[in-house]
Amino acid sequence: MPELPEVEVSKMGISPHLLGETVQSVTVRTKKLRWDIPQELELLEGQVIRNISRRAKYLIVQTDIGSTIIHLGMSGSLRVLDADFAPGKHDHVDIKLTNGKVLRYNDPRRFGAWLWCEPNESHQVLSHLGPEPLTDEFNPEYISAKAKGKRVAVKQFIMDNKVVVGVGNIYASESLFSAKIHPLRATGTLLMSEWSCLVTEIKQVLTTAIAQGGTTLKDFSQADGKPGYFAQELKVYGRAGLPCVNCGCDIEELKIGQRNTFFCYKCQK
C-alpha cells in the first residue's frame, strides 16, 4: 500500500507536468472505485491547474472552480504520459491536458478514490486529521500529551491518523526500531526522552524515503515509471528470521492491529 513517502513522490513526479496547464478533457472509464467518482470532474474541462498539494495520503489538485482529491488506495498509481498512449485494463481515469500530456490513474484493486471539493471548503475525509509528521507541529511535547494515560500499543498509536498522519505500517516499524522502542510498549509508559527520539526517527525515516523515491512495493511506481529504492535499506520490515543489522539476533514478526509488525526483541525495549 502506498504510504506517505510514495504519495509525496507521486506529487513531486506529476507536479512539473501539470502546474499551470489547462485541462482539455476528463475521461472516466470506471464509475466507482472505493466510492462513486463524482460527476463534477467533468467541470475541469478548460480549467487551469493552480496547485498540487498533499494532505496525509491524499493528493489535492486545485483549480479555480474546485479541487480534485485523489487517494491511491492499496494499488493505485499516477502516471504522466503522452495523450495518445493507449489505456490499459486498469486505467480508470484520465485528465488530458492541452499540452499533449495525460494524467492517468491506474488501480487494479479499485480501492482508491477520486473526490471533489468546492472552493474554500474542506472535504470530510480531510477533517479530524492530525498534524503532518514533517512539520514543527509534530513534536515530542505534542505527542507525549496525546499519549498520556493511554495503554494502546505505541505502534498502533503512531499509526492513528488522528494523532499524526502518514506514519504507515512500514515506516512505523522502521522508526520504532531506530528509536529502540518495542512496538507493543504501552503508549503512556514512554518517557519524554523516548518520545523525542521517536519523533526524530519518524521524521528521518520519512525524509529518507521521500528523498530516495519511496519504498519499492510491487504495486507502486513513480510518475515516470521508475520504482523507489528505499526498500533496499529497510532494517526490520519484511525481514522476519533474518539477522538484526545491529545485534545479529533474528528479527521477529507479530500482528498488531491486524498489521504485520517486525522488530528485534533484543534491541527494542
* Confidence label for 220 from pLDDT (cuts 50, 70 and 90): very low
What confidence tier does 213 reach under pLDDT thresholds 50, 70, 90?
confident
pLDDT recorded at residue 227:
53
Q: Rounded CA gap, 221 and 232, in Å?
A: 15
Catalytic residue among 2, 5, 133, 183: 2
Q: Which CATH class is domain 4-126?
A: alpha beta
Give the model confidence (pLDDT) of 18-66 as tens digits: 999 999 999 999 999 999 999 999 999 999 999 999 999 999 999 999 9
Best CA proximity match to 60, nearest among 107, 2, 101, 19: 19
For residue range 163-205, what is the model confidence (pLDDT) as tens digits? 999 999 999 999 999 999 999 999 999 999 999 999 999 999 9
Average pLDDT value over all residues in the chain:
92
Q: 155: which 3 cell numbers?
A: 505502534
Q: What is the DSSP string of the chain?
A: ---HHHHHHHHHHHHHHHTTPBEEEEEES-SBSSSBPPGGGGGGTT-B--EEEEETTEEEEEETTEEEEEE-TTT-EEEEEETTSPP-TTEEEEEEETTSEEEEEE-SS---EEEEE-TT---GGGTT----TTSTTS-HHHHHHHHTT--SBHHHHHT-TTTSS---HHHHHHHHHHTT--TTSBGGG--HHHHHHHHHHHHHHHHHHHHTTS---TT---TTSPPP-GGGG-SSTT-TTSBPTTT-PBPEEEEETTEEEEE-TTT--
Instruction: Considering the domain delimited by 140-263, tell me its CATH architecture.
Output: Orthogonal Bundle (1.10)
State the pairing for strand pair 77-82/91-97: unpaired
List, for residues 99-114, the tens digit of each pLDDT value. Answer: 999 999 999 999 999 9
Please report which confidence band the pLDDT of residue 212 belongs to, taking 50, 70 and 90 as the band edges. confident
pLDDT in tens, 243-255: 999 999 999 999 9
Task: Enter the C-alpha cell of residue 91.
Answer: 486505467
Annotated binding site: 90, 109, 150
Query: 223-233 pLDDT, tens per residue?
Result: 666 555 455 57
Give the model's pLDDT for residue 179: 98
Binding residue ranges for DNA: 90, 109, 150
- Half-sphere exposure at residue 122, Cβ-oriented, CA atoms within 13 angstroms: 7
Q: Would residue 259 show up in a list of annotated catalytic residues for this protein? A: yes
**Given 3, 6, 174, 194, which residue is catalytic?**
3
- Given this model, what pLDDT does residue 201 score? 98
110 is catalytic: no
How confident is the model over 125-168, as pLDDT tens digits? Answer: 999 999 999 999 999 999 999 999 999 999 999 999 999 999 99
Q: Which of 5, 8, 54, 57 is catalytic?
A: 57
Kindly tell me the burial class for residue 118, based on how many C-beta atoms sit within 10 Å of its own C-beta (0-12, 13-18, 19 or more). exposed
Task: Map out the domains of the chain as residue ranges.
Answer: 4-126, 140-263
Tell me whether residue 5 is one of the annotated catalytic residues: no
Which is the catalytic residue, given 180, 203, 259, 266? Answer: 259
Does position 218 have pLDDT exceeding 50, yes or no? Answer: no
HSE of 41 in the Cβ direction (CA atoms, 13 Å)? 22
